Amino acid sequence: MTWLRNALDDLAGEAPRVDLAERTIRTHERRRRRMLSVLAPVPIAAVALAVTATVRLLPAQPPPAAESGAVRDLPASGVGPLSHAYMTFCRPEKGKPPAGCVDGGWRVVTHGGATYRVAQALRGSTFGLRETPFAIAGDGRKIAYYDAKAGTFAVRDLASGTVLTAPTKVPKAWLGSIAHLLLSDDGRFLAFSKMPRLKDPAMLFDLREGMVRPLPNGWNPIGLSPGGDTITLAQYAPKTRFQTISHLWQTSTASNEKTIDVTGTYLPGALRPDGETAVAVKSGKTPGSVCPRTSPDLVHLDPQTGKVLRRVPFQGLSTKGNVVYLRSWTGPQEITAIVSPIACKEADVNAASVQSSYAPFTAYAVNVKTGKARKLTTYSAQSPFYLVLPGFPATL
């Protein structure tokens, strides 16, 4: 950080705290009413013109809400294991929105192909202002989501319909703009963290015992030991770091934590269930551009030391023109990688006129020893944030 940056940061800290939302809305309404009252006494013809103009200037109405019946709501019980979940958005730049689209709504898809809307889950803003995290347990039989009615997180067993809610309320404002959930395979533990690094805490819930453990904020949970006693967190920006916190339920302090810096910038996938292996992809920018790129190797990292152990080139998976995101493990030697074509335009970075479309995300099972990739299936989603696969989450 430069002297100037320090000085500006310091000065910016003097800016008073403000709350301008309500004042702005009131002023906007007052101006709108005043404008209408000015228009009122003019002759009929002019009024007709003004009304026409006003109608044209009115904001576009939201698209018709869900065509009820197109996709059923999640039944109370008797739902089979899930293959994935995705968030719907109804104004794609290209292509058609899915039938029965609800902006920011979560849908789950079973291995049998049935699709259900999860109406209980808080709807998100598909433009990134409010994140509504979603998670699927490794066996696909339980889901975790933010229940707007309960005002906290809930875990639902899809077969039995049993719902457990977190023991403390989590205000919606705490969800931040990028939120992550990690759900243990047995559905007992649920970890929540988010960005930006707000003052309110990240949390680990024990839903069976009704207990809560605070976690450091601004980290992504990527692994939890079977008994919920040790959690592994990762950061990928501004630098890659791992943090391991052990003896979570035996102490009330954060003294059993270890943070390790990794040299280089990587996007780690979920931690292998043995808790000792992490693989990542190296991310960066295309030279001369602001668009992302992925290096053609799978990188083995030691989460205890931060060292790069080895690099294994991908085979059968092209990183050229694609971005690769690692997800959870499908076996002792295989991790899921989802691959999506780079759709970045230079203008996207600053312009406010971007409207996204659904993009294909092709899933591969990659052998971490040989790098060989086996194609699994292709999903469609707005962004990697809005595509959830069973298992522990990764950093992206």
Q: Which residues bind other proteins (CB under 8 A)?
A: 2-5, 7-25, 27-28, 31, 59-60, 91, 123, 125-130, 173, 177, 290, 348-356
Residue 218 near residue 242, CB atoms below 8 Å:
no
Give me the phi and psi of 12, to 5 degrees please: -60, -25
Cβ proximity to other proteins, 105 vs 391, nearer residue? 105
Give me the phi and psi of 297, to 5 degrees please: -120, 150
Cβ proximity to other proteins, 77 vs 177, nearer residue? 177
Least distance in Å: CB of 180 to other proteins?
Answer: 17
Cβ proximity to other proteins, 103 vs 206, nearer residue? 103
Least distance in Å: CB of 107 to other proteins?
Answer: 18
Helix (H) or strand (E) holding 33: helix 21-39
Report the C-alpha gap between 345 and 93 in whole angstroms: 14
Least distance in Å: CB of 116 to other proteins?
Answer: 22
Least distance in Å: CB of 170 to other proteins?
Answer: 16
Cβ proximity to other proteins, 22 vs 41, nearer residue? 22
Report the C-alpha gap between 172 and 237 in whole angstroms: 24
Least distance in Å: CB of 37 to other proteins?
Answer: 18
CB count in 10 Å sphere of residue 261? 11
List the alpha helices (DSSP H) in 40-76: 44-57
Least distance in Å: CB of 284 to other proteins?
Answer: 15
Coil, strand or helix at 380: strand
Cβ proximity to other proteins, 22 vs 44, nearer residue? 22
Cβ proximity to other proteins, 77 vs 357, nearer residue? 357
**Distant-in-sequence, close-in-space partners of 306: CB < 8 Å, separation ≥ 6:** 241, 242, 260, 261, 262, 263
Cβ proximity to other proteins, 44 vs 57, nearer residue? 57
Least distance in Å: CB of 176 to other proteins?
Answer: 8
Report the C-alpha gap between 392 and 268 in whole angstroms: 12
Cβ proximity to other proteins, 52 vs 177, nearer residue? 177
Report the C-alpha gap between 261 and 99 in whole angstroms: 46
Closest to 100 in 3D by CA, of 79, 132, 72, 121: 72
Structure tokens at 246: 């052990």
Least distance in Å: CB of 30 to other proteins?
Answer: 11
Q: β-strand 72-73 against 115-117: which pairing, if any? A: parallel
Neighbouring C-alpha atoms within 13 Å toward the C-beta of 150: 16
